[in-house]
Amino acid sequence: MTAVLRQRLRPPVAPVRTRLARFYERLVLTAILVTVAAGALHPLWTFRMSGPSTLFVMAVGLAFLAALVPVLRAAGPVAASAAFRFWLLATPVRRRDLLRRRYIALVAGVSVATFLLLAPIAHAAAGLLVAAVFTGAGAILVTIAVRAQASDILDRGLHAAGQALGGAATLAFGSLATGIGRAGLNSALAGSATFPVLAAILGIAAVCAVVAYRALDRLDMAVVHEEAAIAEIGEIAAGPLQAAG
Amino acid sequence: MVLSVRGLCRSYGSRPVLVDVGLRVGAGEAVAVTGPNGSGKTTLLRCIAGLERPSAGSVELCGAPLREPDALTRRRIAAALDDLDFFPDIPVAEHLALLLLAHGDPAPDEHAAALLAGAGLGEIAGQLPVSLSSGQRRRLGLLTCFARPRDLVVLDEPEQRLDRAGRDWLIRQLQQEKRLGHGVLMATHDAELTRRVADRVVDLS
């Protein structure tokens, strides 16, 4: 059923000239985004710390995950356009089938973003495996956030987890800044077995991904936010930054 | 009883919008919800359609608690509350056919064409949504409620942006809904619509 619906959602084939114009538009937009991203990430990739510090990577990773939690909760994280909600989600078609692509894109997008942000720092300090561990942790957080979208209790748990991650990040940065416990933590973290931790996290992420995918059927419309509303919130949030700039 | 609402409350932060609202809609019965702007009419309808979660109270649909994620609930409620949004690259008739297909209609294209013609929208079937007037968009939004399977029709100020002919069409459709044994719940400011369609009025003021 969903395959037929998707097929019908495809717009009629446009003339060659229109398709070329659209392709050119996308090409320019992609080139701008890649240039901006490369410009932002280049200093990180060339960054070398005087003394490789696993604790620093952990602190940055924890801070990133702590910041990720409220973003996921505010965005839904599963969202849909108003048209998609009215014409498709409000019908009896199974929701997990309708939302599958968005869900996969969400998990993949957050995982890639986590890795791209943490890999440069981890590469300079503790190795890319640590970045992979945090990428797995990011994927777990997304899947829990999706599952929590259909459960108030789990959502409160996710909020608490975000606060705990923030607290851990603060402690790690505090240790780096003050030197209290820095050497001990660093050597303990550097000596810890990254492979088993990564394997365990990837296993948990796989289980969470399946559980969250099944939970898509239990999402009600009251918690599936409209994409336009999220963009509006983003614009409002960015307002003071633009004014400051 | 198609719809039964008991002790419904809804607050935004500390501001209560709905306090202990109760109403019932039977099969073949139309209930109009009236009240000034800000009295909570739209919020009430959104809670009943499952688009918002009530702070307290219960909503029962055909004798069972309302659970919006259930496919059966979505098959029973046809709601037109907000302004209708469209997929920009897909013609009007294709939207309606998509909806009918998703509801299991074996011949969605033929039925969509017939429904559009019956609602006086036949000439816009092949157009893209961007070319529709606000009245045509409104009529199409209402038509989606009368096209799909349903036990209860929920409408928020359905008379808005309709011309005289459109209002007459709406009244005929709602009277037909009652004859078919469907429940109708609508928020409205239109005295004529209330007089000609509603069996009871719930005033939220």
Does any domain span residue A6? no
Q: Which residues of B touch A81 (CB under 8 A)?
A: 85
With a cut of 50, which residues of chain A have pLDDT below it? 245
Does any domain span residue A82? yes
Task: State the total domains in chain A.
Answer: 2
Task: Please give the full DSSP string across B44-67, using - where no structure is assigned.
Answer: HHHHHTTSS--SEEEEEETTEE--
The whole-chain average pLDDT of chain A stands at: 85
Task: Please give the full DSSP string across chain B, using - where no structure is assigned.
Answer: --EEEEEEEEEETTEEEEEEEEEEE-TT-EEEEE--TTSSHHHHHHHHTTSS--SEEEEEETTEE--TTSHHHHHHEEEE-S-----TTS-HHHHHHHHHHHTT-SSHHHHHHHHHHHTT-GGGTTS-GGG--HHHHHHHHHHHHHHS--SEEEEESTTTT--HHHHHHHHHHHHHHHHTT-EEEEE---HHHHHHH-SEEEE--
A1, A11, A93 ranked by CB distance to B90: nearest = A11
Does any domain span residue A245? no
What was the pLDDT predicted at A245? 46
Same-domain status, A136 and A160: yes
> Does the beta-carbon distance from B74 to A90 stay under 8 Å?
yes
Does any domain span residue A8? no
What is the complex's ipTM, to 2 decimals?
Answer: 0.92
Q: Which residues of B touch A9 (CB under 8 A)?
A: 87, 90, 98
CATH number of B3-203: 3.40.50.300
Burial class (CB within 10 angstroms; exposed 0-12, middle 13-18, buried 19+) of B130: exposed
What ranges do the domains of chain B cover?
A: 3-203
> Does the beta-carbon distance from A87 to B52 stay under 8 Å?
no
Q: Which residue shows structure tokens 């996969």?
A: A104
Same-domain status, A105 and A56: yes
Rounded CA-CA distance B70/B90 in Å is: 28
Tokens of residue B109, six digits: 């294209």
Q: Which residues of B touch A218 (CB under 8 A)?
A: 69
Look at the pTM and tell me if it is higher than 0.90: no
Rounded CA-CA distance B146/B149 in Å is: 8
Closest alpha carbon to B138 in B70, B189, B81: B81
Same-domain status, A167 and A107: yes
Same-domain status, A80 and A29: no
Same-domain status, A226 and A212: yes
- Find the closest chain A residue to B90 by CA distance: A11
> Does the beta-carbon distance from A87 to B87 stay under 8 Å?
yes
Does any domain span residue A9? no
What was the pLDDT predicted at A73? 92
Rounded CA-CA distance B25/A135 in Å is: 52
Q: Which residues of A touch B98 (CB under 8 A)?
A: 5, 8-9, 87-88
What was the pLDDT predicted at B124? 93
What was the pLDDT predicted at A239? 61
Same-domain status, A144 and A34: no
Preferred mutation among B98, B127, B142 to probe A, highest tally of A CBs within 10 A: B98
Are the CB atoms for B60 and B136 separated by under 8 Å?
A: no
Residue A35 has a CB neighbour count (10 Å cut-off) of 10
What was the pLDDT predicted at A234? 63
What was the pLDDT predicted at A129? 86
What was the pLDDT predicted at A178? 86
Same-domain status, A71 and A161: yes
Same-domain status, A123 and A68: yes
With a cut of 50, which residues of chain B have pLDDT below it? none
What was the pLDDT predicted at A53? 76
Same-domain status, A42 and A100: no
Same-domain status, A106 and A18: no
Same-domain status, A185 and A198: yes
Same-domain status, A39 and A150: no
> Does the beta-carbon distance from B51 to A81 stay under 8 Å?
no
Expressed as residue numbers, the domain containing A118 is 50-230
